[in-house]
Structure 1
Amino acid sequence: MTTVVRILAYSYAADHYDEYIKIGESTVIKCLKAFCNAIVAVYAEKYMRPPNEADIVWLLEEGEQRGFLGMLSSIDCMHWEWKNCQVEWQGTHRGRSGKKTLILEAVASQDLWIWHAFFEMPGSHNDINVLDHSLVFNGIVNGQLPPVNYVVNGHHYRMGYYLSDGIYPKLATLMQTIPHPTTTKEKLFAQRQEAARKDVERAFGVLQIKWAIMQGPILWKYEPDMSDMLSWVNVDIDKDISYEEGLVQILDTREKVLSEDFSQNGYQFDPEEIPELDAKRSKKAYDLA
């Protein structure tokens, strides 16, 4: 367990702890795969899932507060270098940087909830090709996504959308910025859209900062192994968010109870006595002891 977490957190090689932990390289790799598969099997259904009706309402409220009615999340792709790419695949996996990469497409909300991740596309593809193979719109096509209802300028809409950059196609489910804004309204819209769509890029940054194995080139040889490991990383990030939101609810409940007790006894309640936690901005856990 110690070796597995250190490999994920510090991006050490599998044989780095041969003498310290007294465990062989092949055993470390087996433990790493088993650990990732176990975490994904237990928690993926709870955290790596499409949004339900309650999630849709919450995402719409979050988007409305930021000035985007009907916004569900933001979508984008990142490239992950694959050092040990097999020779016969190096041509198809060589990206624009000249390195062999694999592409991760993700949809993330403002609080870094990654509820869609599509992996294993070769690095020679662009975001449009990845979107063509992705399953992100399957819920809409098959009628499985909960209804999304909102009104803008008197028009009723029943389909949400995702914020994206300019490379994505012009679809009803994607909203890009204005490339060359001229008027004040266009400039304001472009500024707000470009700021809000950075949520998914911020999620990529958190993944790379928390788990160093995402920063450098991956050393594994097979794509399914990397896919399992990446799924575990996403599940872990979502678990942290859920834990911190639980602390928010505890603090809010504690503040409410104390406020009622103080008011009933004739005291004036000072909210500053309770640590404040803003889940949508700081995402920091506080000690309740």
Structure 2
Amino acid sequence: MTWLLIALLLALGIFLIISQINIKNLYKEYSTKINKIKAAEKINLKSYIGTGKLLRSLDKRIEKSNIRFYISYNVWIHLALCMALFLLASGWMSNHMNIYSSITFGLVVALIPYILLQLFSDLMGHKVKRMSVDFLTIMRRFLIGGKGADIFQAFKKASKYILQPLKNYVEIMIYEYEHKVNPVQCFDNMIERIEGGELKLYIENLKICYVRGGDVIELTDTFIEEIEKQNDDEDEENTKDLLLSMGLYLLLAVNFFILYILFNSSYKTAVFDSSWGQIVFILDLLVSFYIAYLTLEKID
């Protein structure tokens, strides 16, 4: 009966994963990835890590999560935390399972900080997107048809009336500008901090207006109208995504609750001390984390 219950949970998790995959899009993504791999086949993992791209990518993810506004956090702290979780989880699990299952369990647990970081980053990106209209409306008040330094003055004044995390992004931009960083580079850095969407496109167009001249008021009005329209269209879709996410998290909660019961019951020896039991346990963990990944994709 216990084995049947675990098998049903695993099958249900796999079904949910398959139901979320669009085969056509998957094929297109696969073809695109193959082309990218062929174009970049000379780049290997050693050179990727050696040039610091991996660390810079992680640092950018930390910055977009806005976690530094609350605590001191950097790449090395993140890696140390992942390593500590790996050692603790694999060490604890080694008392109950073989070395291979323990290492796999440790690797899965070590991914938790990055998953949380991704979640915070996506939530901050969504928050920035929802407050974009208010931000642009405030910006419009201070963009009195000016150009050049007037744009940065408008950012500085607007920063007093906006909330985090957008406030933090704007304040960093103003700090860079006031400390003699090239204005165009200030725009580029701001663009990098914003996750995506119409606000990112607005900053890119504002940079063009700064360099070549242009009507920043008309530009701002256009983007306010466009973002308002997009927000209205996305409200219904976001509600559906929220319901789906709640369902997935409920499934995960039930799944881990059953595993906890099994781990602390008389069935523990029968299930986890056998090779097949450990394989099913690890597969169940991997499926659960992939479901969490799908949920993050929905948020994004």
TM-score (norm 2): 0.30
Give the structure, 1 or 2, with the largest relative contact order (CA under 8 Å, sep 6 or more). 2
Higher radius of gyration, 1 or 2: 2
More helix by share: 2
